């Protein structure tokens, strides 16, 4: 089968399209024909050797996929060839096929095509776990969402609005922020034009944001500590800016705020029942037509390097997705 293989760590350009053996299926597993694969920021970090998961070389890049079951192990019940599924396969998503434990497959919502399905679970599960589980965001509260046009940012805007929060969203590009406004943000701020601290204070009547969702880090984190509300929750989601900030504890003390590390994948591993319940909630919301994964770029599998480079260059709004013919 065809796959995008990483044989050495480095920028996305180290990736190559190769012919590799089909994966072998074992008990409890299913073989899935991958039709689409979402590109995530962690894919760039993994290929660079900078992510917490460090697969042995060589490995097939990519992990978020959607497709169709083609074969099921004899001991698996309730799953049959032809069923449309979404799955995380780490590593191994940028390929024609993958083999996974059957109980990790999620049924693709009827309303989603394969491209939308491949852009769903990582972004929405991250946003849901962070904002609602760790951040305890309540209706009527102010949510400040950074990197709002990104893969985990846009779902956060949609989920925060769905739960009745007032949303201030930030980003570095007016064109991308126009899409964020379409997703329901009450206010958008371009942080390339003089930061966001004063504007957030103004919009919240001096109070500051109750929940700050930060997948960017660096200066964005530093400035967030200066416009968070008393007893606010600052959610550490990621460091897309490339700088892991340091926390001046006097600021946390002054604001009486909590700084909370959030990891959606680890949440599912550590608390499988709660993780499964969250996924079920997201599937129900998707089936009700309340969630709309946005895909700005669709490219064929062989153009994976271009897809990852578009993400790295901040050209993507929502997600970029690879299609597998």
Ligand X SMILES: NC(=O)c1ccc[n+]([C@@H]2O[C@H](COP(=O)([O-])OP(=O)(O)OC[C@H]3O[C@@H](n4cnc5c(N)ncnc54)[C@H](OP(=O)(O)O)[C@@H]3O)[C@@H](O)[C@H]2O)c1
Residue least distant from ligand X (Cβ): 150
Residue number with CB closer to ligand X (25 or 127): 127
Among 12, 239, 293, 307, binds ligand X (CB under 6 A): 239
Instruction: Give the number of residues in contact with ligand X, rule: CB under 6 A.
Output: 31
Binding mask 249-268 for ligand X (x = CB under 6 A): -------------xxxx---
C-alpha to C-alpha distances, 213 to 98, 158, 161, 249, 299, nearest whole angstrom: 33, 13, 14, 19, 29
Contact by Cβ (8 Å): 168, 230 = no
Among 29, 40, 108, 141, contact with ligand X (rule: CB under 6 A): 40
100/316 with CB nearer ligand X = 316
Q: Does 150 bind ligand X (CB under 6 A)?
A: yes
Q: Give the residue, chosen from 47, 60, 119, 240, that forms a contact with ligand X under the rule CB under 6 A.
A: 240
Q: How big is the chain, counted in residues? A: 325
Shortest Å distance, C-beta 170 to ligand X: 8
CA pair distance 273, 277, nearest whole angstrom: 6
233 binds ligand X (CB under 6 A): no
Taking CB under 6 A as the binding criterion, the range among 28-36, 226-234, 235-243, 289-297 that sits at the site for ligand X is 235-243
For residues 114 and 34, what is the distance between their CA atoms, to the nearest angstrom?
A: 9
Angle between helices 121-128 and 272-287 (to 10 degrees): 110
Closest CA to 240 of 43, 8, 4, 56: 43
Type and span of the H or E element at 59: strand 59-60
41 in contact with ligand X (CB under 6 A)? yes
Cα distance between residue 192 and residue 140, in whole Å: 28
- For the record, the structure tokens of 104 come out as 């990790």
Q: What are phi and psi of 88, to 5 degrees?
A: -105, 130
Q: How far is the CB of 267 from ligand X (least distance, A)?
A: 8
Half-sphere exposure of 35 (CA within 13 A, CB side): 18
Q: Is 135 in the site for ligand X (CB under 6 A)?
A: no
53 to 72, contacts with ligand X by CB under 6 A? none
Cβ at position 82, least distance to ligand X in Å: 31
* 212/118 Cα distance (integer angstroms): 27
- The encoded tokens of residue 132 equal 């609602």
Cβ atoms of 18 and 65 closer than 8 Å: no
Options 91, 92, 238, 307; binder of ligand X; rule CB under 6 A: 238
Whether 325 contacts 42, CB under 8 Å: no
Report the residue number, 84 or 297, with the smaller CB distance to ligand X.
297
Kindly identify the residues of this chain, within the stretch 286-305, that bind ligand X according to CB under 6 A. Answer: none
Q: Is the Cβ of residue 188 or residue 324 nearer to ligand X in the bound state?
A: 188
Pick from 97, 126, 204, 224: which binds ligand X (CB under 6 A)? 126
In the window 106-125, what residues touch ligand X (CB under 6 A)? 122
Among 93, 147, 208, 245, binds ligand X (CB under 6 A): 147
Rounded to a whole number of angstroms, the CA Rg of the chain reads: 20
Contact residues for ligand X (CB under 6 A)?
40-42, 45, 122, 126, 147, 149-153, 171-173, 176, 215-216, 237-242, 262-265, 311, 314, 316
């Amino acid at each position: 089968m065809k796959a995008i293989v990483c044989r050495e760590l480095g920028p996305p350009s180290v990736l190559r399209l190769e012919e590799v053996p089909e994966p072998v299926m074992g008990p409890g597993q299913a073989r899935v024909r991958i039709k689409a694969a979402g590109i995530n920021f962690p894919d760039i970090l993994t290929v660079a050797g900078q992510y917490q998961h460090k697969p042995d070389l060589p490995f097939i890049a990519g992990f978020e996929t959607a497709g169709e079951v083609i074969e099921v192990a004899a001991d698996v019940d309730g799953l049959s060839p032809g069923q449309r599924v979404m799955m995380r396969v780490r590593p191994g998503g940028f390929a024609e096929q993958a083999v996974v434990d059957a109980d990790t497959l999620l049924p693709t919502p009827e309303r989603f095509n394969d491209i939308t399905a491949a852009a769903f679970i990582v972004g929405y599960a991250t946003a849901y776990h962070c904002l609602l589980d760790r951040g305890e965001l309540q209706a009527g509260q102010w949510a400040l969402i950074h990197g709002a046009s990104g893969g985990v940012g846009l779902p956060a805007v949609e989920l925060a609005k769905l739960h009745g929060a007032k949303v201030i969203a930030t980003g570095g590009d007016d064109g991308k922020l126009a899409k964020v406004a379409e997703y329901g943000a009450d206010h958008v701020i371009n942080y390339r034009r003089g930061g966001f601290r004063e504007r957030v204070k103004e919009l919240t009547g001096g109070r500051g944001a109750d929940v700050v969702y930060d997948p960017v880090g660096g200066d964005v984190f530093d400035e967030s500590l200066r416009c968070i509300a008393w007893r606010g929750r600052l959610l550490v989601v990621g460091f897309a800016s490339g700088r892991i900030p340091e926390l001046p504890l006097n600021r946390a003390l002054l604001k009486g705020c909590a700084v909370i590390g959030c990891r959606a994948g680890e949440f599912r591993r550590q608390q499988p029942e709660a993780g499964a319940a969250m996924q079920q909630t997201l599937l129900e919301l998707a089936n009700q037509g309340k969630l709309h994964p946005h895909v700005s770029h669709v490219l064929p599998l062989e153009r994976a390097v271009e897809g990852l480079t578009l993400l790295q260059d901040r050209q993507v709004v929502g997600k970029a997705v690879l299609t597998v013919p």
